[in-house]
Amino acid sequence: MPRRPIQRLVTSLPPADLYKPAGVPMRQLETVELAIDELEAMRLVDHEGLSHEEAAHYLGVSRQTAGRVVESARRKVAEALLGGKALAIGGGAYRVAAAARCCSDCGTRWAVGDDAAGDERCPSCGSTQVDVCRGFGPGHGHGRGRMQGGAGHGAGRGGPRDRGPGDGPVR
C-alpha cells in the first residue's frame, strides 16, 4: 500500500474553483483537475517569485517535492489553456494554515492561532459570520524584492528561514 502524501500547507483557498473558455457550455468541455496544493505551489513560485526551496518551506515539503508539484501544476494549466479545456481547482493533499480569518459582514481579515475556536467573533464588528479567508487578498503578487517597504524573500531579509507560513500581519 502506498504511503499517504504529506499534507501541504496552503495560506488560503482560491477565490474561484472553476475556469473555462468563454462562450462554450461546460457540458461540451473536457475538464483538467488542478489540486489546491498544486495551485499554492504555482502561486508561490510563479506569482510570488519564490525559489523552489523557499516555496518548499512554506508548503512544508522537500525542495524536490515542491519542484514536482509546481511542474505538475504548470503542465495541467498549459493543457487546459492550450486544449481549450475547463480547469477545475480542488482536492489534493493540503491543509489551510490556521492563520487568517475573514468576516463576511464587514470584510475584516485577521490572524489566528492553531488553537482558534470554531465559534469565534470578528474583532471589528462582533459578527459570528467568520470563515477561512478565500482569495489571496492584498499584499500578494509583488514578486521577489518588490514588496512594500523594500522587504523581499530570502535568508536574512524576512524570508522563509526567518519566519513561518503563519507569521506576520494579515491584511
Mean pLDDT over residues 125-130, rounded? 87
Q: Compare 33 and 132 and report the one with higher pLDDT.
A: 33
CA atoms of 143 and 162, how far apart (whole Å): 18
Of 23-32, 51-60, 106-115, 132-141, give the range with the top mean pLDDT: 23-32
Average pLDDT, the chain: 76
The model carries a pTM of: 0.59
Per-residue DSSP letters for 96-156? Answer: E-TT-EEETTT--EE---TT--TT---TTT--S-EEE-BS--TT----TT-SGGG--SSTT
Instruction: Measure CA 33 to chain center.
Output: 16
Predicted pLDDT of residue 42: 95
Predicted pLDDT of residue 111: 59
Q: What digits encode the pLDDT tens for the residues 1-16?
A: 787 777 888 877 888 9
CA atoms of 120 and 100, how far apart (whole Å): 12
For the segment(s) 98-144, the CATH number from 2.60.40, 3.10.350, 3.30.1180, 2.20.28 is 2.20.28
Provide the Cα torsion 140, 146, 150, 156; round to 10°: 80
Q: What percent of the chain has pLDDT over 70?
A: 68
SS3 88: strand
Parallel, antiparallel or unpaired: strands 94-96 and 8-10: parallel
Q: Where are the domains of the chain?
A: 1-97, 98-144
Query: Would you say residue 74 has pLDDT above 60?
Result: yes
Instruction: List CB contacts of 119: < 8 A, sequence separation 6 or more.
Output: 128
Please report which confidence band the pLDDT of residue 103 belongs to, taking 50, 70 and 90 as the band edges.
confident
Please report which confidence band the pLDDT of residue 134 belongs to, taking 50, 70 and 90 as the band edges.
low
CB contact burial 123-133 (16+ within 10 A = b; e otherwise): eeeeeeebeeb
Nearest to 102 by CA among 78, 54, 137, 152: 137
